[in-house]
Amino acid sequence: MGVAGPQPFEEVKRLSITVVTDNYSDALRPDSAIGTRYRSAPGSSIHAEHGLSYFIRTSTNGGTHTFMFDYGEDARGVLNNMGLLGIDPGRIDALGLSHGHFDHWGGLVGILKANLSTKPKDTPLYVGQEAFAHRYALSPKNELRDLGRLDREAIESSGLRIMEIAEWTEVIPGAYFTGTIGRVTEYEQVPPVFLVERCGKLGHDQFLGEQAVVFVVKDKGLVVLSGCAHAGIVNTVRHAQRMTGVTHLHALIGGFHLVNASPERVEATVADIRAMAPDYIAPTHCTGFEAITRLREEMPGQFLLNTAGTTYVLGR
């Protein structure tokens, strides 16, 4: 589904992933083997929120390129963090969105409005299908919650060029959107509480357009970066392995959407990820306390506790 076997993927010599914002901040924790944390100081505090945003830099034989993936929900906080982390919105080669939930697109329009004079026109924004659809969710009391929608007209009026994709696509040299993620596990089902509006009617949101970012780091292996992994984080990794033909998982970073998942699903996911033997695993955002705890217990030597403002560097 969306993949026709291993493809010729450009290797990355050096990959840098900065977590611009995430749910958790801790300036006192030590750095990890591949991650450097942001250290707050008076007047320069990093912003954490229930949202997620990444800034990516790839170095290949063709040079260095940059990509912003997701934008949190609060433009003020994300812009604050971008300034503290030295990220210049005017020097981003391309942008992308994982899926159409507000905690991933909420900051985008505000970021664009604050930088209209510096952002080059016709910069691509890569999205999957239904990225601009109106979304809803059912509360535990079965009440309908409006999750909003990303304003396509506001994006187009800012000068961005919207690129809607269904197949795997190179977004900058060495960085690839997954295209439609194949569903192969039995247990990674999207809960029926997630709804999307189609032709004026609400239906179950299967997140068929959800995207992750995939890299092959020279002499290291596969790196998978997810937004929320509504499609299933195990499905996402297996899809990336089929895409690239690279089986060794060097690093798995991102939201795994196991918050409020059943203990059975958490255990099945942890077991499958452990069997993949990643060199590093850094769960973020919507992974959930229980799943994060179990990943730490089962893979203590590979586990990295993520904090907002952390920069991971992989490769040479």
pLDDT, one tens digit per residue, over 13-51 is 999 999 999 999 999 999 999 999 999 989 999 999 999
C-alpha 61, offset from chain centre: 25
Tell me how far apart the alpha carbons of residues 283 and 272 are, in angstroms, rounded to a whole number.
Answer: 15
pLDDT at 8: 76
Backbone Cα Rg of the chain? 18
- The pTM of this model reads 0.95
- 249-285 core/surface letters (b: 16 or more CB in 10 A; e: else): bbbbbbbbbbbebeeebbebbbebbeebebbbbbbbb
Neighbours of 16 (CB within 10 A): 17
Per-residue pLDDT of the chain (316 residues; tens, 9 = 90+): 344 445 578 999 999 999 999 999 999 999 999 999 999 989 999 999 999 999 999 999 989 999 999 999 999 999 999 999 999 988 899 999 999 999 999 999 999 988 765 666 789 999 999 999 999 999 999 999 999 999 999 999 999 999 999 999 999 999 999 999 999 999 999 999 999 999 999 999 999 999 999 999 999 999 999 999 999 999 999 999 999 999 999 999 999 999 999 999 999 999 999 999 999 999 999 999 999 999 999 999 999 999 999 999 999 8
Return the axis-axis angle of helices 289-298 and 263-276, rounded to nearest 10°: 40
Neighbours of 311 (CB within 10 A): 18
Q: Which amino acid is at 215?
A: F
Straight-line distance from the first to the last Cα atom of the chain, in angstroms, rounded to the nearest whole number: 34
**What are 251's two structure tokens?**
């690093």
Tell me how far apart the alpha carbons of residues 47 and 284 are, in angstroms, rounded to a whole number.
Answer: 15
Tell me how far apart the alpha carbons of residues 87 and 272 are, in angstroms, rounded to a whole number.
Answer: 35
Per residue in 101-134, pLDDT (tens digit) is 999 999 999 999 887 656 667 899 999 999 999 9
Tell me how far apart the alpha carbons of residues 110 and 136 are, in angstroms, rounded to a whole number.
Answer: 22
CATH code linked to domain 14-315 = 3.60.15.10
- Sign, Cα dihedral of 282, 287, 293, 295: negative
Q: In the chain, what are the domain boundaries?
A: 14-315
pLDDT at 115: 78
